[in-house]
Structure 1
């Protein structure tokens, strides 16, 4: 995960100063063909690039709306994929349009035209890694992750289609997303396999008379080489 932080301190949501005890994660996507992080995150930190319209979300009410999320995933100015944390994780966001604001960390994946497989693969991977990071941070499991459209069906979010209008175009859905998070968490929790040690052995003599060999072995052990031994070939 390529994680950066630029807290949207000018947003009315941040200034409200309300906190939550996070109980889950809600995955969103922006609903606009603009994969550049600078559209939503600003001002330019040298990586984002300049937003010429200055319509990022680091202002009181972006576009006159009360909106704010905990993070965005999308493109930096150089075209690479990154995650920007935009609210403290335990801050009450304005992302769900329902009671999930009181319980869920919400992040947005910047949409493109929804047909670029390479872009989708990159942001999907970044979203997985963000969820794994948050699961480990708060003790969540894959079962604690939903998208906005699932939140609507559960009665805790407004009626939005994201992300199920996008993921299936690339053979994914929230079921596969949760399964991938579960797999990554499982892999990270596996104990490291014991590595069989290899040794270099040093021979300090070769004798045709056994008593001479025994005398040399005694000297070696007296010198501190307690693992010394005689091998007869």
Structure 2
């Protein structure tokens, strides 16, 4: 994940200054064919590129609407994929149109024409990695992740189709998304366990004759100690 931060400090949501205790994550997509982060995140930090219309969300009410999310995923000016955090994670966002604003961290994936498999694969992977990051930060599991349309079905979000109007076009769903988050979470937790695991080393002997040392090493490996080695001091 390529995570950067550019808080939307001019947005009325940010200025409201309300905080929450996050209890889950809500995945959104923008509903417009524009994969460039500069459409929503600004001003240009040298990586985003200049928004010639100046219609990004770092203003009081973008397009006259009370909208703001915690992050966006999309394209930088060079075409690479990145994530921009746009609100503090514990800030009350304006993304769900319902009670989920009080409980969920919400992020938007910038949509393209919905048919580009390579773009979808890249932003899907980035979204999985962002969710893993947030799960580790707040102790969530994959079960704490929903999309906007699932939020509507639960009665905690407005009636939007995202992301289930897009994911199935590429053979994915929120169930596969949650499964991929779980898989990566487990892999990272296993890596941490291995790094933190303590090992006790046992020295078999010390030899002044190299041949004797090599003979003892051969015996140890034959006995099943495949990690045995000779250290010369």
The question of a shared fold, defined as TM-score above 0.5 by the shorter chain, is answered with: yes
**Residues 113 and 212 of structure 1, relative CA distance in 2, 3 Å threshold:** closer
**Residues 137 and 202 of structure 1, relative CA distance in 2, 3 Å threshold:** closer
Distance in 2 between the 1:98 and 1:6 partners? 25
After alignment, is 213-222 or 29-38 more displaced?
Answer: 213-222
After alignment, is 220-229 or 108-117 more displaced?
Answer: 220-229
Counterpart for residue 20 of structure 2: 20
After alignment, is 82-91 or 210-219 more displaced?
Answer: 210-219
Distance in 2 between the 1:17 and 1:196 partners? 39
Question: What TM-score, normalized by structure 2, do the two folds share?
Answer: 0.84
| Greater gyration radius | 1
Q: Deviations over 1:179-204 (max 9, x none)?
A: 00000010111156979999999999
Q: Which stretches of structure 1, 4 residues or more, deviate above 2 A after TM superposition?
A: 191-233
**Residues 21 and 112 of structure 1, relative CA distance in 2, 3 Å threshold:** same
Unaligned 5+ residue runs, structure 2? none
Distance in 2 between the 1:228 and 1:165 partners? 56
**Residues 119 and 209 of structure 1, relative CA distance in 2, 3 Å threshold:** closer
Unaligned 5+ residue runs, structure 1? none
Q: Deviations over 1:149-208 (max 9, x none)?
A: 000000000000000000000000000000000000101111569799999999999999
**Post-superposition offset of 1:106:** 0.1
Distance in 2 between the 1:74 and 1:187 partners? 25
Question: What TM-score, normalized by structure 1, do the two folds share?
Answer: 0.84
Distance in 1 between the 2:64 and 2:232 partners? 89
**Post-superposition offset of 1:114:** 0.1
After alignment, is 190-199 or 130-139 more displaced?
Answer: 190-199
Q: Deviations over 1:60-79 (max 9, x none)?
A: 00000000000000000000
Q: Deviations over 1:80-134 (max 9, x none)?
A: 0000000000000000000000000000000000000000000000000000000
**Post-superposition offset of 1:232:** 19
SS of the counterpart of 1:193?
helix
**Residues 63 and 188 of structure 1, relative CA distance in 2, 3 Å threshold:** same
**Residues 176 and 17 of structure 1, relative CA distance in 2, 3 Å threshold:** same
Distance in 2 between the 1:73 and 1:225 partners? 48
**Residues 201 and 77 of structure 1, relative CA distance in 2, 3 Å threshold:** closer
Distance in 2 between the 1:232 and 1:87 partners? 56
